[in-house]
A and B are shown apart, each in its own frame.
Chain A
Amino acid sequence: MGKCIDWDAYAPGAAYDELIAGGGRARPGAGRLCRFLGRLSATELRERKAAAELAIQMMGITFTVYNDKRSAPPAGIDRAWPFDIIPRVIRKSEWDRIQAGLAQRVRALNLFIDDIYHKQKIVRDKVFPREILAGSRNFRPQCVGFSPPQKVWAHICGTDLVRDKDGTVYVLEDNLRVPSGVSYMLENREVTKRVFPELMGSIRVLPVHDYPAQLSDTLAAIAPRRVARPEVVVLSPGIYNSAYFEHAYLARQMGAELVEGSDLVVADDDRVYMRTIAGLTQVDVIYRRIDDLFLDPEAFRPDSAIGVPGLLRAWRKGNVGIANAPGAGVADDKVVYAYVPQMVRYYLGEDAILPNVPTYMCVDKKVRAYVLANLEKLVVKPANESGGYGMLMGPQSTKRERAQMAARVKARPREYIAQPLVTLSTAPTLVGTRPEPRHMDLRPFILSGRDVTVTTGGLTRVALKAGSTVVNSSQGGGSKDTWIVDTSRGA
C-alpha cells in the first residue's frame, strides 16, 4: 500500500493554484493538509471519497435540477450535491483583509441603495450617471421614499470573488437579490468533519457554524413589533425551486417557519399573517427567497402564483420586515457593479480594499467600439442575468457566436458589459484518485444589520471539467470545503 498522490507530479498550469505553488511545494497554511493527503494510499483515498458520497446521500444534501427526467421516480429532481474532498485553503492573515474589503463594499452598497430611493445625491453629484439608473431593470419605483429599519436594504449579500494569475483577488459580482449557497458552505464542513476527523483535530481551521445564529439575529432585528420572540419565516417558492434544500436548511437551523406564498395572507389591517392549525398568526419578518417581481402580484407581476397579494403594502406601512428589502436588487447589476469603487470613495471616504475586475461598459460609445473590436479577447456578460447564462467567453467562442453577441450589444448596449478574461485560480481536485487542477471561485456571505459580519470563508465552487471555468452547480460545477487556517505562531 504505497502512497498515491505525488505532489511533485502535480502540474498547476498557467493559473494560480491555491494549494501548490509549483514544484510540488505546498503554499503556507496548506502544508499539513498536503502532507497528510500524500501519505494516503489509493485505497484510503477511495474510502474517504466514498465516505463523503455516502454522507452527502444520507444527509440528503441535494440541489434541484429543472426538468430532469432521467431518474425513475415520478419527479426525481433532487440530485446529490457534487463535492470534492480536498479542501481549499486560505490563510487567516489574507482572509482578514478580504473580510474587511467585503464589509466595506457592502456598507457602501447599502448606502447607495438607500440614496437611490431617496435624494439620489450620488447622481446629483455626478458620481453615478443618471442614464444608467434610468436603464436599470431592478430599480423599483414602488420603493422610492421608503426607509427600511437601520437603512439596510441588502441584509444578505453573496459576493463572488476570483483570483487571477498573479494572485490578486478581484470581486466578480455582488448578489443582492436572493443569493444562495450558504447552506452548502455549512454542510461541506459537516461532510469534511466526517471524512477527515483527524485533520480537523490537528489543523486550526476556523469554524463556520455560527452563520445561522447570526442570520437569525439579523432578521429578528428588523421586526417592527417590539416582541421578545418575533415570528420570522423563510418564504420559499416551494419544493421544486433549485435552492429548496437551502430554504429548508436555514429555516431548520434558525427554528423559523418555512412558508410558501399560499401560507401567508395580508389582512385588512395591512399586517401579514400565516395560516396555522390554530388560525392566523402574525408574521414579523420575512426572509424571502423569491425574486422581487414575484413577491406581490398586487405590486409587481400580477401572474405570480408564488407571491403574497398586499405584501408590499404591509411592508411600506412598516408592519413587516422583509430581507432583502424589495428594490435592493438595483445594486445587483453588472453595470452598477462597475461603480462600486467610486461608491466606496463617495460614501465612506475610503479607497476600496478589494478591486473590481476592469469592466467595459458597452453603453459608452467609444468603449463599445473597443469591445466590439476585441470580442475574441473579452468576456461579455448581460448586466442582469445570474447563473452564468447568456455569456460570451471570447477566447473560446466561435465567429458565429461573436457575431450574434455583437448584434445583441448593438441593440441593447445598456444591457451588456465586457471584462478581460480572468484566469480563475485552481486547486487540486480528485479525478479518480489523482489530483488535477480545476478552476474555482469563492462566494462569501455578508450579513448587514447594526453590524456587518462576513462568513469565515464562503462557498468554494469548482468547475469539475478540465479547463472549464463554469462553476455553477446547474452547469456541472461542484464545490469544496473552504478552510481559513490560522498560521500565526502557536496556531
Chain B
Amino acid sequence: MLSRVAENVYWLARYVERTENTARLINVTAHVLMDLPVKVRFGWDTLLTITGSGPGVKGRGEAAVIRFLTADYDNPGSLISSLYRAREGARTVRDILPQEAWEQINAVYLEAGRNLARTPDPRARYNHLNAIVRGCQELGGIVEGTMSRDWAFEFLRAGRHLERADMTTRIIDVRAASRLPETVGDLTPFENVLWMGVLRTLSAYQMYRRHTHGMVRRPDVLTFLFTDPLFPRSFLHCVSRVEESLHGLPGADGPLRTARAVGKLATEVAPGDLKREELHQFIDDLQIGLAALNDRIKDTYFPAAHAAGQ
C-alpha cells in the first residue's frame, strides 16, 4: 500500500468522524439548551471552544455560530469543510475504497451542501444534521460490510477511532467546564440534564443506563465515557481499536508503544473523582497523548518519513 494513499485513507476517516461528531454536538446542544433555565445557559459560544475554532464569530449568537460551524467553507473546522476534505480525500483513493463507500461520501457531501445553506431554521436543522450523522454511520456500515480487512481498512479504522477518542474528550471537556457549579443542591436536576446531554451527544445514554444500572451522575458518567471497555465511543475503547488496527500493520512497534501509553493514561486515574480543574488537566494530557500517537503513525507510515529516509 502506498504511503501517500495510507495517509489519505487515514485522514479521510478522521474527517468523516469529525463531521459526524460535530453534527451530533450541535443537535444535542440545541436540545440541552432548551431544558436549562436561562440563568445557567452556557450559550452557543462553547461550541466554538469544543471544535477548536478560535474566537471566530464569538458572541454573535446562535444563527452566526451555527452557520460558522456548519456551512462556512472559510472555517476549516466547519462541518462542510470536514466533509469537503473527506470527499476530496476519497476522490484520491477511489481505487482503494469500495465503490459504494465513495458514492456514500459523495452523496452525504452533496446533500449536506444543499441543506446546510438553509440550516439556521432550527426545525430543518435537526433533520439535516441527523441525516449527516446517519450518512456517516451508513458509511461505517458499508465499509464494515464490503471492505477487505487489508491495510487500507486498518488505516481507515485507526483514523476513525483516533478522531473519535479526541472528539469524546472535547465534548466532555467543555461540558464539564461549563458555568454550572459542580454540586450545588438546587441545580442538581440541571446538572443531570447536562450530563444526560453529554451522553446523548455520544449516543451513550441508553448503553450507560444498561451497563451502570444507575442514575445519571457525574462520576459514573465520567468513568463510563473514559474507561468503559465495551462502549464504542468511550476513550479507552477507541484507543484499543487503534491499537488493534496497528497490530494489523507492518512495522508498528513504535506507534503501538505510544498507543499503549495513551491507553494507560486513562486507566491510571479514577476519572470520576477528578475535580473540575483536575479533569481539565487530565483531558489535556489525553489529547496530548493522542497527538503524539498521531505523530508516531505519521512518522512511521506517511510520505514525509520516507522522503527523509531516502
Contacts and interface: CB of A to CB of B under 8 A. Distances in A.
Interface in B240-289: 249-251
Contacts of A134: none
B151 interface: yes
B301 A277 contact: yes
A251 interface: yes
A239 B91 contact: yes
Interface residues of A, number: 29
Interface in B78-104: 84, 88, 91-92, 94-96, 99, 102-103
Interface in A215-252: 234, 239, 244, 248-249, 251-252
Contacts of A276: 1-3
Interface of B: 1-6, 73, 84, 88, 91-92, 94-96, 99, 102-103, 106-107, 110, 113, 151, 249-251, 301, 303, 306, 310
A234 B93 CA distance: 13
Interface string A263-283: 101000000001111100000
A274 B73 contact: no
Interface of A is mostly: mixed
A1 interface: no
A60 interface: yes
Interface string A50-78: 00000001111000000000001111001
Most buried by A among B2, B106, B250: B2
Interface stretch (A254-262, A371-379, A450-458): A254-262
A275 B91 contact: no
A162 to B, nearest CB: 33
Contacts of B251: 277-278
B95 A248 contact: yes
11 contacts: A57-B110, A59-B103, A60-B94, A60-B106, A74-B84, A248-B95, A257-B5, A259-B2, A263-B2, A275-B2, A275-B4
Contacts of A60: 91, 94, 102-103, 106
Given A248-B94, A248-B95, A277-B249, A262 B106 contact: no
B94 A277 contact: no
A277 B1 CA distance: 6
Given A239-B92, A249-B94, A262-B303, A277 B106 contact: no
Contacts, number: 72
- B interface, over-half SS: helix
A260 B2 CA distance: 10
A58 B105 CA distance: 9
Nearest to A251: B95
B2 A248 contact: no
A381 to B, nearest CB: 34
B95 A258 contact: yes
B95 A263 contact: no
Contacts of B103: 58-60
A57 B107 CA distance: 8
Nearest to A62: B91
A36 to B, nearest CB: 28
B251 to A, nearest CB: 7
A274 B110 CA distance: 34
A133 to B, nearest CB: 39
B3 A252 contact: no
A262 B84 CA distance: 24
Which 5 A-B pairs rank lowest in CB-CB distance, beginning with the nearest? A251-B95, A252-B95, A248-B94, A278-B250, A277-B301
B91 A260 contact: no
Contacts of B1: 276-278
A257 B310 contact: no
A73 B91 CA distance: 15
Nearest to B99: A252
Most buried by A among B5, B103, B310: B5
Given A57-B110, A260-B4, 11 more contacts: A58-B107, A58-B110, A234-B95, A252-B94, A257-B2, A257-B5, A258-B94, A275-B3, A277-B3, A277-B6, A277-B251
A57 to B, nearest CB: 6
A205 B301 CA distance: 48
A257 B4 contact: no
The winner among A60, A78, A249, A263 for most chain B CB atoms within 10 A is A60
Contacts of A239: 88, 91-92
Given A60-B102, A60-B106, A274 B2 contact: yes
Contacts of B102: 60
A278 B2 CA distance: 9
Contact of A275 (B110, B113, B306): B306
A277 B91 contact: no
A276 B155 CA distance: 13
B110 to A, nearest CB: 6
